[in-house]
Chains A and B, each alone.
Chain A
Amino acid sequence: AQSVTQPDIHITVSEGASLELRCNYSYGATPYLFWYVQSPGQGLQLLLKYFSGDTLVQGIKGFEAEFKRSQSSFNLRKPSVHWSDAAEYFCAVGAPFSNDYKLSFGAGTTVTVRA
């Protein structure tokens, strides 16, 4: 069974500073990996995903993530944070070649952006 750990519950970052959110997964092989963002009172929006190939993945809103097999990690980064990036971020994992397409989510990291 797959699982995801997001070690940081809450991160505060200054506007314009860089941001890195950590994600570690547990799976017997290389899983499919996702990052979602949830603004207050909203549903989840996909930021980016990794299936295979280039381990540095570009997403929407200026985010990128890097898959590191040796560390079982898929950390999310943004070089310069905007106030609108304040939200909750979820890492998720799915099993390749699955016939049920279930996603397992981490507990989430809340990002606060200070002026």
Chain B
Amino acid sequence: NAGVMQNPRHLVRRRGQEARLRCSPMKGHSHVYWYRQLPEEGLKFMVYLQKENIIDESGMPKERFSAEFPKEGPSILRIQQVVRGDSAAYFCASSPPDTYEQYFGPGTRLTVT
């Protein structure tokens, strides 16, 4: 059973560019979560999605950030016009229907230069 997959594992972007982070949940999982982790800090909830629906995006910055989980394909976290403060590890987690246990992918390390 493949676990949660994320790509790319490392992403370097210049200020002002766009970053697209992808997440494929575990087989059978229909819920996807995105988190951001700054160095030496805890995980910060960003958004929770089910297929074709954003359920809770209360942790997403109001501008430049968006997320989707289409009917087909991976979930995408999109950051437009990146700034240095966006540099962080972004983790995706998935969970089976009707449970709260989350299983994490390896993360994408975003560096903004």
Is chain B found bound to chain A in the same assembly?
Answer: no
**Interface of B toward A, CB cutoff 8 Å:** none
